[in-house]
């Protein structure tokens, strides 16, 4: 049979830097290229099946952000460049001894139809649990969101049974998992989210003890007093800004804040949180930032525990899936419009 030597690839790039404002679809373009499958170097060619859509990418699209210096996958993205992101794909050709045609892989792919991974350095072979969807590994419940929630809650928050936990962006990819881990562990959990539909989901489907729509509240400080009359022990912060300030006001002595994300600050430079440091000192509150990569030593424990919870129906993984590479820009900007529920993932193609 005739061997395929080139493939046509469509991929997403930014047109321009996106500085301190919400992204729009018009900030992105779909580029096309022809990829030669003949390569002198060690290369793995991957057909992308699912790619992860995550808020942190906005910080890579700015002219400057301190986050860009930290890890290779948080580095600045230049206009015209392919955008790397977590995903799941199928190897179509490989000159790397560890990967062969047909292997299922997970790791850093690109927002496009195909990924060309030199050296195969960001890939791992995937041996999925047969009864769980492949999309779960594309940055979702069995990928970086899950590890962030698990490690952030158990390692950073160091919970005790019965403690009162507050989670923001609670119906999102990380937040919905934090709330469920916390409930399964025996904590009292309240979540905040941006619509009635999301609040209902948290209370009726995901087992949160209570939840509120922060967009309907005029004074977040008194809202938190209402939901936590005896104070907050753990705050899992996904949003930063005024929510962090109000949570600090309402925290108990020796409270812990897991500084996971600050999405309200990513697109608005004026929203930087100014927590009351006197409260932090006198209440001996610990505020700790972290990245999911910090928890690789508990990865196996995370997978075993989470797969068990999913298979026994104790935990739910809600996904917001759109189809095709063309849907990536809207899937991304929707994160900042609060249009997603659960993990945002794009299915690039069906096998
Ligand atoms: N540290 C780490 O390693 C790590 C890893 C993954 C994610 N994160 C961070 O965790 C947070 C959640 O990420 P995710 O992937 O789970 O995203 P997500 O929650 O699935 O999606 C983003 C959600 O944020 C909320 N949001 C958007 N703009 C907001 C604003 N101005 N103020 C308050 N809420 C806003 C929206 O929900 P509402 O409708 O509720 O507003 C939106 O649905 C992000 O800050 C992200 O950067 C950190």
Domains and CATH numbers, the chain: 6-140+318-347 (3.90.180.10), 144-293 (3.40.50.720)
Distance between CA atoms of residues 21 and 90, nearest Å: 36
Query: pTM for the complete prediction?
Result: 0.97
Distance between CA atoms of residues 183 and 187, nearest Å: 5
pLDDT (0 to 100) of residue 2 = 60
Q: What is the best residue among 217, 261, 339 to mutate for testing ligand 1's pocket, by most ligand atoms within 8 Å of CB?
A: 261
Q: Using an 8 Å Cβ cutoff, are 344 and 334 in contact?
A: yes
* Percent of the chain whose predicted confidence (pLDDT) is above 90: 93
Residue 275 Cβ contacting ligand 1 at under 6 Å = no
pLDDT (0 to 100) of residue 269 = 87
pLDDT digits (tens, 9 = 90+) for 58-70: 999 999 999 999 9
CA of 238 to the centre of ligand 1 (A): 6
The rounded Cα 151 to chain-centroid distance in angstroms is 13
Q: What is the best residue among 143, 174, 342 to mutate for testing ligand 1's pocket, by most ligand atoms within 8 Å of CB?
A: 174
Distance between CA atoms of residues 136 and 86, nearest Å: 11
Mean pLDDT of the chain: 96
Task: Work out which ligand 1 atom sits closest to the CA atom of 262.
Answer: 45
Distance between CA atoms of residues 294 and 172, nearest Å: 21
pLDDT digits (tens, 9 = 90+) for 239-280: 999 999 999 999 999 999 999 999 999 999 889 999 999 999
Is residue 174 predicted with pLDDT exceeding 70? yes
pLDDT digits (tens, 9 = 90+) for 71-81: 999 999 999 99
Going by C-alpha positions, the residue among 229, 131, 183, 310 that lies closest to residue 175 is 183
Residue 329 Cβ contacting ligand 1 at under 6 Å = no
Q: How many CB atoms lie within 10 A of CB 341?
A: 18
Q: Which residues of 28-45 are buried (b: 16+ CB within 10 A; e: fewer)?
A: beeeeeebebeeeebbbb
């Amino acid at each position: 049979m005739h061997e395929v030597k080139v493939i046509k690839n469509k991929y997403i790039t930014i047109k321009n830097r996106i500085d301190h404002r919400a992204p729009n679809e018009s900030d992105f373009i779909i580029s096309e290229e022809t990829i030669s499958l003949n390569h002198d170097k060690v290369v793995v060619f991957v057909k992308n099946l699912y790619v992860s859509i995550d808020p942190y990418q906005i910080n890579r699209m700015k002219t400057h952000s301190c986050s860009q210096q930290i890890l290779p996958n948080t580095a600045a993205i230049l206009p015209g460049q392919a955008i790397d992101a977590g995903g799941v794909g199928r190897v179509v050709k490989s000159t790397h001894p560890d990967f062969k045609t047909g292997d299922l892989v997970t790791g850093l792919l690109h927002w496009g139809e195909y990924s060309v991974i030199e050296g195969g350095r960001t890939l791992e072979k995937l041996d999925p649990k047969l009864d769980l969807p492949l999309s779960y590994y594309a940055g979702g419940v069995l990928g970086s969101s899950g590890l962030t929630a698990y490690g952030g809650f158990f390692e950073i928050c160091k919970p005790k049974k019965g403690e009162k936990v507050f989670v923001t962006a609670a119906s999102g990819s990380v937040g919905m998992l934090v709330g469920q881990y916390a409930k399964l562990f025996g904590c009292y959990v309240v979540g905040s989210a941006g619509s009635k539909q999301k609040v209902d989901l948290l209370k009726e489907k995901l087992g949160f003890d209570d939840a509120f729509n922060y967009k309907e509240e005029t004074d977040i400080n008194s809202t938190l007093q209402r939901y936590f009359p005896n104070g907050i022990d753990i705050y899992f912060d996904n949003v930063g800004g005024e929510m962090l300030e109000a949570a600090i006001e309402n925290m108990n002595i020796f409270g812990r804040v897991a500084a996971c994300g600050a999405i309200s600050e990513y697109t608005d430079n004026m929203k930087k949180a100014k927590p009351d440091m006197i409260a932090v000192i006198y209440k001996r509150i610990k505020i700790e930032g972290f990245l999911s990569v910090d928890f690789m030593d508990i990865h196996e424990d995370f997978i075993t525990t989470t797969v068990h919870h999913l298979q026994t129906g104790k935990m739910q993984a809600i996904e917001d899936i759109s189809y095709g590479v063309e849907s990536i820009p809207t899937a991304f900007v929707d994160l900042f419009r609060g249009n997603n529920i659960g993990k945002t993932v794009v299915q690039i193609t069906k096998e």
